[in-house]
Amino acid sequence: MPVPLPIRLALAVLLLTPALSARAQTPAPAGWTLDEAFRRVIANHPNVLQAIAKAQSARAQVGVARNAWLPTATLDMNHQEATGNVPSAPGASYGLNPFWSGSLVSKWVAWDFGKTTANMDAADANVMAADQDLRAAKVQLWSALAQGWVAVMAADAALAVYQAALAQLERTRDAVREQVGVRARPELDLFKAEADVASAQGDLLRAEELARSQRLALAVALAEPHIPPGPLAPPVFDTQTLDAGALDDDARLDQLTALAIQDRPEFASIRAHIAALELLQRAAERAVRPNVYVSGQASATGGDLAGLAVNYGVTVGLSFPLSTVWTQPPLITDAGAQVRALVASQDAQILTLRGQINQAITSLVQARKRLPVAVAQAGYAEKAWNAATLRYKAGAGLYLDVADAESNLVKAKLAVVQAQLDVQAAVAQLAYLMGRVLPQP
């Protein structure tokens, strides 16, 4: 029997929010903890390395924008061989005459009426956006790793359930064999008990294969040869901040949504990108403004190197970039359109996020209500199984009643585990939506 989907889904989000959790009291085998696994894989993961490179590129662009304040300098050196004929002059010579020339020109924009400042501010905003993109990449990597981690936990939990169920069925089969041996029960009961044991063995084999495959998948995600055997201990969630006050009201929903918008790196990145585009738009609008510049020139010319004539000059001027009048409007329009697109995307994501938080709150409230019911049903199922077993041993009941009671008991125990995990999963999902998934430093 495969692992029930609700349990797998509940476990799949159980560890998505270690930032709100304490370290597990029982350490993972061979030093394996989720935090250590994350630190092991984050150092070389391509998505993180790509985000780091983009952040470095964004920081370099700040220097590129700042370069506009630095002076430019050009050094030219020339040697020319040319004739020096003068038309209609007696004694003209057709021989080549040497001519040396050299110049050094430096120009510094003393003031550009805010153009460079706007470009630098936009580059700074892009750095902030790149940093948030890097954090978002880490969050996504953490979530993927946590899902693989808890998939192993889910498979191990299912394996333990099926092992216990098989052991119980084998004990029941042995008891039936004794009853059949003394002819207190028909042989058909033994056939049914053997068939139940065989079915449970098949379920156990599938559970063992699932546990093995999940560990192999986690090993691939970690780039490790294998995952050590043994249980992986989950963190214990601190739900104090989520338990305070009523969760299922609009005021609490608005509060959690505001916190999510503030804390999630995706929204911080959008805000930074919007700020960068607005600053780029401002820089494009200022591009039509003139530049106040200071220029220094030095030149040396002459027929031979020993007799060069040296001249110096200083120029203060005002430069008007006339071509920007027709080249900048498309850039301004494009930046404005990108800003509007990002704002619309942000608004759509906020609406989606609010709905997801509302759903997570509903799941948490309902899971808390289901848990005591599941516990009560498990208690009833265990009593029913005990009663069916006693009746069968006393010769007053049927084996089918015992088999049904055993099946119901296993389902009830799974329901209790599922309800417990549903509570934790809802808390984890709610905290994940609020942007708190990375381990504390």
Predicted confidence band at 288 (pLDDT cuts at 50, 70, 90)?
A: confident
Q: What is the pLDDT of residues 201-256, one digit of tens each?
A: 998 899 899 888 988 888 887 777 766 667 776 655 444 455 534 556 777 788 88
CA angle 135, 53, 333 (to 5 degrees): 85
- Which of 124-138, 357-371, 404-418 is predicted with the least confidence, judged by mean pLDDT? 404-418
For residue 210, the model assigns a pLDDT of 87
Q: How confident is the model at residue 327 (pLDDT cuts 50, 70, 90)?
A: confident
Give the position of tokens 């009291």.
25
* Average pLDDT rounded to a whole number, residues 328-340: 89
Domains and CATH numbers, the chain: 5-80+97-433 (1.20.1600.10)
SS3 112: coil
Give the separation between CA 119 and CA 280, rounded to whole angstroms: 6
Give the range among 137-141, 209-213, 434-438 with minimum mean pLDDT: 434-438
pLDDT average, residue stretch 170-190? 84
- Nearest partner of 192 among 408, 413, 401, 412, judged by Cα: 401
81 vs 104: which has the higher pLDDT: 104
pLDDT tens digits for range 188-208: 888 888 898 898 899 889 989
pLDDT at 30 over 50: no
CB 238 within 8 A of CB 413: no
pLDDT band at residue 48 using 50, 70 and 90 as cut-offs = confident
What's the mean pLDDT in 116-145? 85
| Token pair of 242 as six digits | 């989520």
Confidence at 3, pLDDT banded by 50, 70, 90: very low
The letter for the amino acid at 302 is G
Phi-psi domain of 302 (left: phi exceeds 0; alpha: psi -120 through 50; beta: other): left
**Which residue type does 18 have?**
P
Rounded CA-CA distance 414/4 in Å is 9
User: What percent of the chain is modeled with pLDDT above 70?
Assistant: 81
Place of tokens 């599938």: 206
The residue with tokens 């068939």 is: 195
- Rounded CA-CA distance 151/187 in Å is 42
Q: Give all strands (DSSP E) within 19-134, no chain letters.
A: 21-22, 72-83, 96-111
Q: Which residue has the higher pLDDT, 401 or 209?
A: 209
Q: Read off the pLDDT band of 88 (50, 70, 90).
A: low
What is the spatial distance between Cα 266 and Cα 139, in angstroms, rounded to a whole number? Answer: 10
pLDDT score at 340: 92
Rounded (10°) CA dihedral 151, 152, 154, 155: 120
Single-letter amino acid code for the residue at 426: A
Mean pLDDT, the chain, whole residue set: 78
Q: Helix H segments across 223-306?
A: 240-243, 250-263, 265-286
Contact 40, 218 (CB under 8 A): no
Phi, psi of 320 (to 5 degrees): -110, 115
299 band by pLDDT with thresholds 50, 70 and 90 = confident
pLDDT of 7 reads 35
Q: Which one of 33-42, 169-178, 245-254 scores highest in mean pLDDT? A: 169-178
Burial of 1 (0-12, 13-18, 19+ CB in 10 A): middle
What would the two tokens of residue 23 be? 């370290």
Task: Kindly report, residue by residue over 370-389, the tens digit of the pLDDT.
Answer: 889 989 998 999 899 888 88
In which band, very low, low, confident or very high, does the pLDDT at 11 lie, cut at 50, 70 and 90?
very low
